[in-house]
């Protein structure tokens, strides 16, 4: 249709101005996120990404009927996994999608006023319908992609935290220390069990000192799993010495019927190590 071709020309002449107007009107007082950045490199990238959106959108009016999502696929992927955008609250990003949509509707209003004798209201409405439909598709696809990348990053961070929070530290060729710090939930206790056994085998540990002085609180399930670690270590030939057991943990263990008869226990890690040397 001629109206789409004409609007394509009208839009392409304004893409950079749309980007500059959009950036100038940003609320840069938002406490976090890409839109508040003062880094010139980040700002230039942000403007480039915004301008590329306009370019891809304009093509829809030149090649009417094409798959809108296919045209935006690469752009959506870049924005969804972009580190600066991943650090930006999603509602801020969605707000900018809708502000850009308002810009487009403003351009369409100007186009209609300047071409009121050339095109019918129905032809103008067909442009508006394509705009709104495309924005809906892009926003939905972006939200889906952004969520997926955010979940992947969160999983990677959690894995790193688990690895750092339960390290087996060698103090000589056959002796290791496992210092446990913070709250231990069921998920972390399970990870500690699996990771400790694997590390002891990999590092050829014969004697492992498990220090619980940094563990403030555990529930009955976690207390049971901690003592399962000791039992499992014995099955693979690793001797265990536990230090720093708080009264609360000891009480929980007694309530569970866990016996300390075959477990080497000392009050502090320092004392435990001094007895071995």
User: Which of 189, 198, 186, 175 shows the shortest CA–CA distance to 269?
Assistant: 175
Helix boundaries (H) for the chain: 2-12, 15-24, 40-62, 68-81, 83-86, 90-114, 121-165, 186-202, 220-235, 247-255, 269-276
Within the chain, which residue ranges are assigned CATH 1.10.490? 2-159
DSSP state letters, 175-213: EEEEEEES---HHHHHHHHHHHHHHHHHTT-SEEEEEEE
Tokens of 216: 């403030």
Phi, psi (deg, nearest 5) at residue 243: -130, 160
Phi-psi region of 158 (alpha: psi -120 to 50; beta: other; left: phi over 0): alpha
Phi, psi (deg, nearest 5) at residue 28: -90, 10
Question: Could you tell me the pTM of the whole model?
Answer: 0.60
Asked if 216 and 182 count as a contact pair (C-beta separation under 8 A), the reply is: yes
Give the H or E element holding residue 241.
Answer: strand 239-243
Per-residue pLDDT tens listing for the chain (277 residues)? 689 999 999 999 999 999 999 999 998 777 778 998 989 999 999 999 999 999 999 988 888 767 777 888 889 988 888 888 888 888 899 999 999 999 999 999 999 999 988 999 999 999 999 999 999 999 998 888 888 887 887 777 666 555 555 678 888 888 888 888 777 777 777 888 888 888 899 889 999 988 888 877 666 777 777 778 888 888 899 988 888 887 777 777 777 776 666 678 887 777 767 765 5
Longest dimension (CA), the chain: 97
What CATH number labels 169-276? 3.30.750.24
Look at domain 2-159 and name its CATH class.
mainly alpha
Name 147's Cβ contacts closer than 8 Å, sequence gap at least 6: none
User: Which of 129, 111, 134 shows the shortest CA–CA distance to 56?
Assistant: 134
Within the chain, which residue ranges are assigned CATH 3.30.750.24? 169-276
């Amino acid at each position: 249709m001629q109206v789409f071709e004409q609007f394509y020309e009208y839009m392409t002449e304004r893409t950079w101005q749309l980007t500059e107007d959009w950036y100038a009107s940003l609320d840069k007082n938002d406490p976090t996120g890409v839109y508040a950045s003062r880094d010139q490199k980040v700002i230039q990238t942000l403007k480039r990404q915004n301008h590329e959106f306009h370019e891809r959108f304009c093509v829809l009016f030149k090649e009417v009927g094409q798959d809108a999502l296919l045209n935006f696929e690469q752009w959506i992927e870049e924005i969804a996994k972009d580190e600066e955008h991943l650090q930006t609250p999603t509602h801020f990003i969605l707000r900018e999608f809708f502000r850009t949509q308002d810009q487009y509707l403003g351009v369409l209003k100007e186009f209609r006023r300047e071409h009121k004798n050339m095109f019918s209201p129905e032809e103008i409405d067909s442009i508006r319908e394509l705009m709104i439909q495309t924005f809906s598709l892009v926003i939905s696809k972006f939200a889906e992609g952004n969520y997926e990348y955010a979940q992947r990053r969160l999983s990677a961070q959690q894995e790193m935290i688990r690895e750092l929070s339960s390290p087996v530290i060698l103090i000589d060729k056959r002796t290791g220390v496992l210092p446990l710090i913070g709250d231990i939930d069921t998920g972390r206790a399970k990870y500690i069990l699996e990771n400790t056994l694997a590390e002891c085998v990999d590092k050829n540990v014969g004697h492992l000192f498990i220090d619980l002085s940094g563990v403030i609180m555990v529930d009955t399930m976690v207390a049971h799993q901690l003592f399962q670690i000791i039992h499992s270590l014995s099955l693979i030939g690793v001797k265990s010495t536990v230090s720093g057991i708080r009264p609360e943990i000891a009480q929980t263990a007694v309530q569970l019927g866990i016996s300390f008869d075959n477990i080497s226990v000392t009050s502090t890690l320092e004392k435990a190590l001094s007895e071995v040397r």
